[in-house]
């Protein structure tokens, strides 16, 4: 009781709030370098992205939507790859400083090629020049060819994170094998590839 006869009031102290040691939700900001190993493959594919929900102490459900730009395609040919995968991830010692993990994901892969016809573009520019106009976005399809395929895919990966603070961890390394079925586009085989990634992991619910 206080001096006025009223019960003592409880003062909430934010520092006393109990947070879980293992983050309920994680979002990864990472750079991924993907190397295709099939026939006629060239260069690497560079991009990134992922998110994970914890469903038990050592288990997460991971959703990975990653896009990347293909390199070494030459002056008039470009390519992009988009993977969208989901599946379980097992994490050892999720509350400790070092957290190794392994995962198996399933989903799909979309591959895109675009080839520019420089002669056709020059011809269209020459036609437009006397009128004082330039080619715009609407004209792009008149001098380019777009090819795309979407196939079922799966991946298996292992990696390790190191905790920096309650909210941030560093993805030291993640090595992943990806396979997609019947993924050949314009004579290039994209069925098998290896992907390496590293970056920052934002952990929510632990602070």
pLDDT in tens, 45-54: 888 776 777 7
CA distance 195 to 115: 25
Q: Which residues of the chain have pLDDT under 70?
A: 1-21, 50, 207
Q: Which domain holds residue 150?
A: 22-114+145-204
Measured CA to CA, the distance from residue 88 to residue 53 in angstroms comes to 10
Asked whether residue 139 is assigned to any structural domain, the reply reads no
Query: What span, in angstroms and rounded, lies between the C-alpha atoms of 135 and 121?
Result: 9
- Whether 13 maps to a domain, the answer reads no
| pLDDT at residue 102, as a whole number | 97
Q: Give the bridge partners for 31, in sequence order.
A: 198
Question: Considering its fold, how many domains does the chain have in total?
Answer: 1
**DSSP assignment of the chain:** --TTSPPPPPPP-GGG----SS-SEEEEEEEEEEEE-STT--S-EEEE-EEEEEEETTEEEEEEEEEEEE----SSEEEEEEEEEEEEEEESSTTSSEEEEEEEEEEEEEEEEEEE-HHHHHHHHHHHGGGT----GGGGGGSEEEEEEEEEEEEEEEEEEEESSSSEEEEEEEEEEEEETT-EETTEE-SEEEEEEEEEEEEES--
* 79, 70 contact by CB (below 8 A): yes
Nearest-5° Cα angle at 73, 153 to 32: 45
* Residue 11: inside a domain: no
What pLDDT is recorded for position 7? 56
What predicted TM-score, i.e. pTM, was given to this entire model?
Answer: 0.79
Tell me if 77 is assigned to some domain: yes
Q: What is the pLDDT of residue 2?
A: 53
User: What pLDDT is stored for residue 4 in this prediction?
Assistant: 57
Q: 122 lies in a domain? A: no
Domain assignment present for residue 151? The answer is: yes
Our measurement of the distance from residue 136's CA atom to the centroid of its chain's CA atoms, rounded to an integer in Å, reads: 31
- CATH number for the domain harbouring residue 45: 2.40.160.20
Residues 152-162: tens digit of each pLDDT: 999 999 999 99
The string of DSSP letters for 116-157 reads: E-HHHHHHHHHHHGGGT----GGGGGGSEEEEEEEEEEEEEE
Residue 199 lies in a domain: yes
- Residue whose C-alpha is closest to residue 97's, from 16, 160, 9: 160
């Amino acid at each position: 009781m206080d001096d006025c006869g009223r019960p003592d009031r409880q003062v909430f102290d934010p520092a006393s709030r109990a947070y879980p040691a293992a983050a309920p939700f994680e979002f990864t900001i990472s750079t991924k370098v993907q190397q295709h190993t099939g026939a006629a493959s060239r260069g690497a594919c560079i991009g990134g992205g992922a998110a994970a929900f914890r469903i038990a102490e050592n288990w997460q459900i991971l959703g990975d939507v990653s896009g990347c730009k293909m390199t070494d395609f030459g002056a008039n040919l470009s390519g992009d790859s988009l993977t969208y995968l989901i599946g379980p991830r097992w994490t050892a010692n999720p509350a400790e400083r070092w957290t190794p993990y392994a995962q198996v994901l399933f989903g799909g892969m979309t591959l895109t090629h675009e080839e520019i016809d420089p002669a056709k573009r020059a011809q269209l520019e020459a036609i437009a020049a006397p009128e004082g106009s330039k080619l715009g976005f609407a004209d792009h399809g008149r001098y380019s060819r777009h090819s795309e395929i979407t196939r079922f895919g799966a991946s298996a990966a292992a990696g390790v994170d190191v905790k920096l603070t309650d909210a941030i961890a560093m993805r030291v390394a993640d090595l992943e094998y990806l396979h997609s079925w019947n993924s050949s586009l314009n004579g290039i085989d994209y069925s098998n590839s290896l992907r390496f990634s590293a970056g920052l992991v934002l952990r929510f619910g632990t602070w």
